[in-house]
Structure 1
Amino acid sequence: MKNLLKLEEVAMFGLSIYLFTLTSFSWWWYPALLLFPDIGMIGYAFNTRVGALTYNFLHHKGIAVVILLAGWQFGNDVLSLSGIILFGHASMDRVFGYGLKYPDHFQHTSLGWMKPQSVPNDGN
């Protein structure tokens, strides 16, 4: 099931790329902006509750779709691009196991607990 969910996220990431091709922006805008939503992690400088709030706001696909639809409705290309980038980034993150965050800990996500990075044993 986990692989099926990842495949679904890959498809949504592909959809974001397709939607981007429908815009008038040069191709390099997509990769240049793709990691921008991670600016939401700045909230963790305050505490985990604020960090989860800011991170989740910029990684919630529903918010991304609303922004994209608002851009289409009002003919605002920048708003449309923002929604596409937010949607694509959220899908990419979920492929790598980064879900929405709980306010108690950065590694506690909607996809479960992230595995801690293994630290090589240097023999000491």
Structure 2
Amino acid sequence: MKTSLKLEELAMLMLGVFLFYQLELSWWWFVALFFAPDIGMLGYVLNEKIGAITYNLLHHKFVAITIYFFGILITSEIIQMLGIVFFSHSCFDRILGYGLKLKKGFKFTHLGEIGN
């Protein structure tokens, strides 16, 4: 089952790459911003609850898809790109086993404990 979930995430990551390809933006944007959602980890400096909230906000696929469609609505390729990059990064993280964080600590995710 774990393999099928990783393949599903890989397919979604490829969808993100395809959607970015449809934009008229340089690929360096995708590469440069790919790890930008990880800035959400800075919330852990304050405490575990805030860290989980900030991390999850920048790694939640619904948020990324909403940003993307908002970009379509206002015809902004920059906003669309942000949604695509956030979505793609979230898929990449899920392939590696990093899921949405639970409030009890960074290593506890909706996919299970990191490292187990």
* Shorter-chain TM-score range: over 0.9
**Residue 43 of structure 1: CA displacement?**
0.2
State the alpha-carbon separation in 2 of the partners of residues 30 and 15 from structure 1. Answer: 13
State the alpha-carbon separation in 2 of the partners of residues 25 and 78 from structure 1. Answer: 8
How does the TM-score come out when normalised to structure 2? Answer: 0.98
The runs of at least 4 aligned residues of structure 1 exceeding 2 Å deviation read none
How does the TM-score come out when normalised to structure 1? Answer: 0.92
Code of the aligned partner of 1:90: S
**Residue 55 of structure 1: CA displacement?**
0.1
SS at match of 2:105: coil
Code of the aligned partner of 2:68: L
State the alpha-carbon separation in 1 of the partners of residues 113 and 77 from structure 2. Answer: 37
State the alpha-carbon separation in 2 of the partners of residues 88 and 111 from structure 1. Answer: 18
**Residue 8 of structure 1: CA displacement?**
0.2
Aligned-residue CA RMSD (Å): 0.8
Q: How many residues align?
A: 116
Higher helix share: 2
Q: Which residue pairs with 2:80 in the alignment? A: 80
**Residue 71 of structure 1: CA displacement?**
0.1
Higher strand share: 2
1:7-37 alpha-carbon deviations (Å, 9 max, x no partner): 0000000000000001111111111110000
Q: Which residue pairs with 2:49 in the alignment? A: 49
Q: Which residue pairs with 1:103 in the alignment? A: 103
Q: Which has the larger radius of gyration?
A: 1
- For structure 1, the 5+ residue unaligned runs are 117-124
Q: Does 1:62 align with 2:87?
A: no
State the alpha-carbon separation in 2 of the partners of residues 108 and 50 from structure 1. Answer: 14
Q: Which residue pairs with 1:12 in the alignment? A: 12
1:60-95 alpha-carbon deviations (Å, 9 max, x no partner): 000000000000011011110110001000000000
Code of the aligned partner of 1:4: S
